Structure 1
Amino acid sequence: MTEKNKSIRNFPNKRNVPKLRFSEFTDEWEENYISEVISSKSKKYNPETNDVNYPSIELESLSQDSGELLSTFDSKNQKSIKNVFNSGDVLFGKLRPYLKKYYLVDFDGVCSSEIWVLKSSILDSNYLYAFVQSNSFISLTEISSGSKMPRADWNLVSSSSIFYPSNSDERKKIGQIIQLLNSRIHTQKKIIEQLETLIKGVGYKLFNKKIRFKNTDLSEFPSWESKKGNDVFSNISNKNHNSELPILAITQEYGAIPRDLIDFKISVTDKSVESYKIVEKGDFIISLRSFQGGIEYSEYKGICSPAYIILRNKMEVNSYFYKYYFKSEYYIKQLNKKLEGIRDGKMISYAYFSDINLPLPSLNEQTKIANFLYSIQEKIETENQILEKLELQKRFLLANLFV
């Protein structure tokens, strides 16, 4: 065992201690009813009779499974009776508990009656907050009433057992490590948001020529040409395949991607697959939602439904330049101006696409723009991988640091 890992040990065989534990603690954990340790009682606030204006937290104020507060409202503008909370209380959304809406408040205020206000005279706030995120607590809340709008049942939850460290130092350490991870995850999301804002903003300026790159010798690139869509891209409908190519899902999030890679399951028959079109790597696909999210790019060779329009460049271009251009806010705005009045759900035809002007910078400038945007996209992907690891670490600890 390395020095780094000595502080946490496994306890696989003891019933009332967690699988994972800080090594300096060996005592068995206390067991009690949740009702004896945690209270969900709170004072009530009536906006019609109370003149004090508090920040009000509604269900939509809480993000899903992240512990982030998205917004607050003025309590004086609310119509319904609210629960009162104080700084240090833990909030948990009891309506549709599988959404995992929780928050540790650091101010006084009121909240929706669909939100439990949890407090404890035994457990400190950080430990209590970590506990409501744990698998053991979440699984209790999911035993709920109602099918369309399930609600967690406090009577059931409170009559269940809770195991917790008798040593306050151990409780403090558990609360701190989960809070540390929450804070790191929050910071990581902010980093990704800033990078996504950057690529969106810079892309918009590049594509409408608010900013321009220069050549390696600092000379200006030639002025951009403007071509109709059908001058740059052909409509391809090649169905000459033996049905052994991977079926591609056309998504706004991943572009064109083999269905197996994203667990995208739609039943198809051998006969229907025969009519599918071949997509080559570097092709673009017009999908049902292209007027909302742009035109998709394929990094894969495969086949897709004949309902999609496959675009392939008919002149030498940098495919990544158009990959970013077709997904840019600038292009989607141009697309929607041309298609004003088109109804949601109607596929953009090749004729519509062909009638829209496309920019055609020199190949060198296309490459410079594509490489620059790709470098930001690579950074976003790296930061997303870090986020995934942090979230995985948190899930592991929440599953193993509690009984």
Structure 2
Amino acid sequence: MSIKKEKIPIVRFRDFSEPWIKNQLSEIAEFSKGRGYSKKDLQSHGTPIILYGRLYTNYESEISNVETYANLEENSVVSEGGEVIIPASGESADDISRASCVIDRGIILGGDLNIVRPREYLNSLFIAITLSNGSQQRELSKRAQGKSVVHLHNSDLKAVKLFYPSYEEQSAIGSLFRTLDDLLASYKDNLANYQSLKATMLSKMFPKAGKTIPEIRLERFEGEWEEKCIGEIADIVRGASPRPIQDPKWFDSNSEIGWLRISDVTSQNGRIHSLEQKISKLGQEKTRVLTEPHLLLSIAATVGKPVVNYVKTGVHDGFLIFMNPKFDREFMFQWLEMFREKWNRYGQPGSQVNLNSDIVKNQKILIPCMEEQKAIGAYFSNLDNLIVAHQEKISQLETLKKKLLQDMFI
């Protein structure tokens, strides 16, 4: 028996005004299960197949590209296009409270998949999205049963109550989220490409061990790079911390001097443009205060991470400061990024790396002329700006998508 309770979402396309209808899923869909197959049945060619694990490792609300294959058996369950699939088991209720729409015909649907075939007046992508978010997703989580392994049966799915609008509005909503997902995928692909390019160029634009020129060099530059100890091209000093650090007298929210913490380094990837915690005048007497940008090196927690402060900063004893540098700051920042993993030689396997000012001072480095340093620094700075721009765009799109998922469904 239909429930048919009417409601409307907070955010809606302008063209639609009719109230949404609420029905039990059993009233508006047919149910079945996938059959057979596991990872050991996968091979390099054959019939495309979806196993339930894909919904955990590579979740998409709409599956259109399947690159796993298996032999088609006589009793295989094969998609007709438009199915909504939901895991039948997982490690947690949240794991299995997600649904995907299968776009294409001819795809094997493996065992441990619940299969929902919506009626013709329902859009499969809309159903997949609404089951994976909001009140429907919470209801799926509540119905999941088990401890070490959680199960979700078709009988559980049938009892789920679903709000839906007209088919046209469902399609418009599905199209919007498809566009958002395509944009996110594009930005993430570009981000991965830029990050890969940077890693490659860091390995090739600085000389390898035993070499005095890099494998890849910017135009117009030639000649061997010069070997120096880092202590020859900067005065290396350690930051300082007031003790005990938990004492509130060291901090003042009205101070203009920030207090640099490891969490700031992590969240801003070493480029410090803001500091939430501020250090008091009394605390400033117990630390090293930088009023201009400087290159720093983390020697605690995120060991070997280079840092530049672009705001007034109090530097604690978990950092080294490069004072009076005879190098281009951006060039050295990128060299330290390239060299970061090599500091691990100063720690025992499984133990904390122990860096100090003497180790850093005595570390040898090959450097080119200042003009080439600036050119290399500018090249990597531009790459970093592209990476940050893509990360920010991804964050904005994910925030927008999350907000729309909250407000466009009931």
Contact 2:83–2:116 (8 Å) recurs in 1 = yes
| Match in the other structure for 1:32 | 23
Structure 2: how far apart are the matches of 1:317 and 1:163? 63
Structure 1 residue 207 displacement after superposition: 1.6
Contact 2:273–2:311 (8 Å) recurs in 1 = no
Structure 1 residue 190 displacement after superposition: 0.9
| Match in the other structure for 1:283 | 295
Structure 2: how far apart are the matches of 1:89 and 1:198? 39
> SS of 1:140's equivalent?
helix
User: Structure 1 residues 318, 140: closer, same or farther in 2, change over 3 A?
Assistant: farther
Contact 1:85–1:117 (8 Å) recurs in 2 = no
Structure 2: how far apart are the matches of 1:17 and 1:143? 24
Which string of whole-angstrom CA distances, capped at 9 and with x for unpartnered residues, describes residues 36-72 of structure 1? 3355640331669999987453536644776598997
| Match in the other structure for 1:191 | 190
| Match in the other structure for 2:355 | 348
Residue 304 (structure 2) pairs with residue 303 (structure 1): no
2:9 paired residue among 5, 15, 18? 18
Contact 2:290–2:312 (8 Å) recurs in 1 = yes
Residue 65 (structure 2) pairs with residue 57 (structure 1): no
Structure 1 residue 32 displacement after superposition: 0.6
Residue 159 (structure 2) pairs with residue 159 (structure 1): yes
> SS of 2:236's equivalent?
strand
Structure 1: give runs of 5+ residues left out of the alignment: 1-13, 77-82
The equivalences for 1:196-275 within 5 A come to: 196-208=195-207, 209-214=214-219, 218=220, 220-239=221-240, 243-244=251-252, 245-250=257-262, 251-252=265-266, 254-256=268-270
The equivalences for 1:359-398 within 5 A come to: 359-398=366-405
% identity of equivalent residues: 15
| Match in the other structure for 2:247 | none
| Match in the other structure for 2:325 | 315
1:120 paired residue among 118, 121, 140? 118
Structure 1 residue 382 displacement after superposition: 2.1
Structure 2: how far apart are the matches of 1:58 and 1:37? 24
> SS of 1:303's equivalent?
strand
User: Structure 1 residues 188, 73: closer, same or farther in 2, change over 3 A?
Assistant: same
Structure 2: how far apart are the matches of 1:112 and 1:203? 45
Deviates more, 1:38-47 or 1:366-375: 38-47
> SS of 2:205's equivalent?
helix
Structure 2: how far apart are the matches of 1:270 and 1:15? 61
Which string of whole-angstrom CA distances, capped at 9 and with x for unpartnered residues, describes residues 247-280 of structure 1? 2222345245779868x9xxx9999998655466
Deviates more, 1:362-371 or 1:227-236: 227-236
User: Structure 1 residues 136, 85: closer, same or farther in 2, change over 3 A?
Assistant: farther
User: Structure 1 residues 377, 350: closer, same or farther in 2, change over 3 A?
Assistant: same
Structure 1: how far apart are the matches of 2:40 and 2:320? 63
User: Structure 1 residues 49, 355: closer, same or farther in 2, change over 3 A?
Assistant: closer
RMSD: 4.3
Structure 1: how far apart are the matches of 2:140 and 2:311? 43
2:337 paired residue among 327, 333, 337? 327
Which string of whole-angstrom CA distances, capped at 9 and with x for unpartnered residues, describes residues 18-43 of structure 1? 22333333332222113333556403
Structure 2: how far apart are the matches of 1:324 and 1:276? 27
Contact 1:66–1:101 (8 Å) recurs in 2 = no
Structure 2: how far apart are the matches of 1:261 and 1:71? 45
Structure 1 residue 309 displacement after superposition: 3.1
Which string of whole-angstrom CA distances, capped at 9 and with x for unpartnered residues, describes residues 210-233 of structure 1? 12224xxx4x35532122233234
User: Structure 1 residues 48, 227: closer, same or farther in 2, change over 3 A?
Assistant: closer
Contact 1:188–1:387 (8 Å) recurs in 2 = yes
Structure 1: how far apart are the matches of 2:235 and 2:111? 55
> SS of 2:26's equivalent?
helix
> SS of 1:45's equivalent?
coil
Structure 1 residue 357 displacement after superposition: 1.6
Contact 1:231–1:314 (8 Å) recurs in 2 = no
Deviates more, 1:186-195 or 1:137-146: 137-146
Contact 1:145–1:151 (8 Å) recurs in 2 = yes
| Match in the other structure for 2:211 | none
User: Structure 1 residues 29, 260: closer, same or farther in 2, change over 3 A?
Assistant: same
**Aligned pair count?**
369
Contact 1:239–1:274 (8 Å) recurs in 2 = no
Deviates more, 1:393-402 or 1:38-47: 38-47
User: Structure 1 residues 137, 288: closer, same or farther in 2, change over 3 A?
Assistant: farther
Structure 1 residue 367 displacement after superposition: 0.8
Residue 101 (structure 2) pairs with residue 104 (structure 1): yes
> SS of 1:316's equivalent?
coil
Contact 1:62–1:102 (8 Å) recurs in 2 = no
Deviates more, 1:102-111 or 1:316-325: 102-111
Contact 1:58–1:112 (8 Å) recurs in 2 = yes
Structure 1: how far apart are the matches of 2:300 and 2:306? 10
Residue 184 (structure 2) pairs with residue 176 (structure 1): no
> SS of 2:235's equivalent?
strand
Structure 1 residue 151 displacement after superposition: 4.4
Letter aligned with residue 312 of structure 1: F
